[in-house]
């Protein structure tokens, strides 16, 4: 599907603790010898609608704002905690902004950093095994931009990547404005060997908001865009490798600049460059 792909999207993550929310099965007793399953009602286990005044930071009770660069993928940005890189817009959105700047002499793997951006995760705040994971996002635009909504296994601090597992709900690279990718990574199928597929539309994903989701249940992960299912993965797809998607994962939102896969920005890339997130919502019950 692609000739160059990241080695690992993880960087400088310590061991974190999370709570697992699992779907509960309710039964309705109708007689001494009869029982039937009542319809499951999906419970919302995590939700952020990013309501708040313009310029406000994200809710620190829900999101950890990471700092640092990422040598693993040869990305060009330095992630900061500044509201100039991640803030509410006062209209119910989170705006992650990549800027061509270096306001604090940040140092990256290649020397003095050229860009700043933001990466947020829920480690230590929210984790879950199985359910429906969804975000409504308006994509960034331009060569070298790499936005993503994804998840990592909560045990990454103990077992490392890719043993932790990674579920990419949505990734986009700027040179493919009409396509997004959904991928899983684990032991024996990571980096360029990650297992996934792409979904394309007629226009650019940066032109409007779109909803990206996975439905994750025991032994199955299903990807959809705007409610349209385009991919299902099960252990049968792994060529005998280990299925590691049976434990708590945490959420990540980020906007990377450059790297092995998207390539570096060029003169056509607009800065500041924004990734706009309307909401992130998780329920305990898969829809597919």
Catalytic positions, written as ranges: 166, 171
Enter the tokens of residue 283. 């329920």
User: Is the CB of residue 130 less than 8 Å from the CB of residue 22?
Assistant: yes
Enter the tokens of residue 184. 């899983």
* Distance from C-alpha of 126 to C-alpha of 19, rounded to nearest angstrom: 6
Enter the tokens of residue 25. 């099965």
The number of angstroms, rounded, from the C-alpha of 109 to the middle of its chain's C-alpha atoms is: 23
Asked if residue 162 has a cis previous peptide bond (ω within 30° of 0), the answer is: yes
Is residue 133 classed exposed, middle or buried when 0-12, 13-18 and 19+ CB atoms within 10 A define those classes?
buried
* Distance from C-alpha of 158 to C-alpha of 165, rounded to nearest angstrom: 12
């Amino acid at each position: 599907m692609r000739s160059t792909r990241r080695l690992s999207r993880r960087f400088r993550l310590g061991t974190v603790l999370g709570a697992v929310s699992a779907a509960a099965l309710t039964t309705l007793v109708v007689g001494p010898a009869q029982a039937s399953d009542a319809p499951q009602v999906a419970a919302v286990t995590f939700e952020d609608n990013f309501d708040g005044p313009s310029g406000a930071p994200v809710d620190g009770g829900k999101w950890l704002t990471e700092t640092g660069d990422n040598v693993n993928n040869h990305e060009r940005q330095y992630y900061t905690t500044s509201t100039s890189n991640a803030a509410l817009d006062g209209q119910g959105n989170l705006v992650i902004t990549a800027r061509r700047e270096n306001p604090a002499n940040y140092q990256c793997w290649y020397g003095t950093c050229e860009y700043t951006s933001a990466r947020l995760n829920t480690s230590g705040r929210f984790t879950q095994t199985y359910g429906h994971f969804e975000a409504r996002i308006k994509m960034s635009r331009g060569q070298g931009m790499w936005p993503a909504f994804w998840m990592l296994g909560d045990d990454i601090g103990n077992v490392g990547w890719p043993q932790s597992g990674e579920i990419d709900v949505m990734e986009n690279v700027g040179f493919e404005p009409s396509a997004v990718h959904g991928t899983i990574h684990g032991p024996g199928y990571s980096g360029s060997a990650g297992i996934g597929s792409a979904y394309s539309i007629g226009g650019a994903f940066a032109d409007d908001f779109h909803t990206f989701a996975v439905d994750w249940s025991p032994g199955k992960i299903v990807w959809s865009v705007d409610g349209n299912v385009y991919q299902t993965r099960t252990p049968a797809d792994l060529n005998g490798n280990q299925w590691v998607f049976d434990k708590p994962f945490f959420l990540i939102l980020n906007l990377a600049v450059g790297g092995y896969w998207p390539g570096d920005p060029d003169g056509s890339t607009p800065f500041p460059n924004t990734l706009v997130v309307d909401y992130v919502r998780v329920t305990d019950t898969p829809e597919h």
